[in-house]
């Protein structure tokens, strides 16, 4: 049963209030964070400037000349108590397909350049993560990683980056990997990485410390808004989205990249209504129902 401890609220300077639901990563807390922050946006509170949801917390920026911080705190506490009822934890979401060339030549070459940063890996990242999680073949690993959706819990690190947590799977089957002890100086754009239990797609070339297992064929960040899905935003991800990775061959990868460059690629998207109550009661069965026809 969904049970939440009391949310801790702290004032941060003159313009921010920080709310922490849990010190540990709990997907149930993320459900509440998304529901609460969606409700705050919907209410359009005067003086509320920005809302930043994260894995198990959120940050509010406000204008103290418009709203009293103590009145705002009381308001936040009221909404927080309301969302302790699991029947309230529902929100509109999207399932988005991300085609991935797993164990690709690009990230393999990249990680081989940085073998000295983690000699315990004894090879490139894909094989390291595969072995750490007990898989004997690349096909078995790829199938396992791509068989469940990844719940977008938070955005950050750099523009367009999004953390995805696997849901609808027992904890002991979640693919996990340690981060590099010292980060790489270079990570290719659209590289797919695993760090802890999270999977990310690097939006642009950057430093990085997640273990690289593949290459996304589609962008997750488009400052030029050249594809239709980016019409209203530069970022593909929204907190609460579900990303479903689909394995593609090298040839399929290049075909999709050509469509992207010609601006003809259309993302596969399925609007859904997510219910934390149903997820708690039905688990993987509920997630499989959400994925039907996708």
Residue 286 has what pLDDT?
95
pLDDT for the residue numbered 110: 95
pLDDT given for residue 85 in this prediction: 82
List, in order of start, the domains of the chain with CATH numbers. Answer: 8-85 (3.30.1360.40), 92-290 (2.40.100.10)
Cα 249 from Cα 237, distance rounded (Å): 24
The structure's pTM equals: 0.93
Rounded Cα gap, residues 276 and 282, in angstroms:
10
Where do the DSSP E strands lie in 89-149?
A: 90-102
Give the pLDDT score at 2: 55
Mean pLDDT, 10 residues at a time, the chain of 294 residues: 76 94 86 93 92 93 95 93 87 97 96 91 91 96 97 90 94 94 96 97 96 98 95 94 98 98 97 93 94 90
- What confidence score (pLDDT) does residue 106 get? 96
Side by side, which strands form the sheet with 57-62? 8-12, 16-20, 57-62, 48-53
């Amino acid at each position: 049963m969904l049970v939440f401890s009391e949310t801790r609220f702290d004032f941060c300077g003159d313009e921010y209030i920080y709310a922490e639901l849990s010190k540990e990563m709990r997907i149930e807390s993320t459900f509440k964070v998304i529901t609460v922050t969606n409700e705050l946006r919907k209410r359009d509170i005067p003086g509320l400037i920005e809302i930043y949801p994260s894995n198990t917390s959120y940050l509010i920026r406000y204008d103290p000349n418009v709203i009293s911080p103590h009145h705002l705190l009381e308001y936040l506490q009221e909404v927080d108590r309301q969302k302790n009822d699991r029947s309230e934890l529902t929100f509109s979401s999207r399932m988005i397909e991300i085609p991935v060339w797993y164990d690709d030549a690009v990230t393999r070459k990249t990680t081989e350049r940085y073998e000295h940063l983690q000699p315990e890996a004894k090879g490139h990242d894909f094989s390291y993560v595969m072995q750490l999680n007990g898989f004997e073949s690349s096909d078995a690993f790829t199938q396992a990683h791509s068989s469940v959706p990844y719940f977008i819990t938070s955005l950050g690190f750099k523009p367009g980056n999004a953390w995805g947590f696997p849901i609808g799977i027992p904890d002991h089957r979640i693919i996990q990997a340690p981060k590099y002890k010292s980060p790489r100086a270079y990570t290719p754009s659209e590289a797919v990485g695993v760090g802890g239990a999270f999977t990310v797609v690097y939006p642009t070339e950057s430093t990085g410390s997640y273990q690289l297992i593949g290459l996304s064929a589609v962008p997750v960040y488009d400052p030029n808004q050249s594809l239709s899905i980016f019409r209203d935003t530069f970022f593909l991800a929204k907190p609460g989205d579900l990303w479903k990775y689909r394995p593609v061959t090298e040839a399929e990868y290049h075909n999709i990249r050509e469509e992207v460059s010609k601006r003809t690629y259309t993302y596969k998207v399925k609007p859904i209504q997510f219910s934390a109550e149903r997820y708690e009661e039905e688990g993987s069965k509920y997630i499989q129902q959400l994925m039907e026809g996708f």
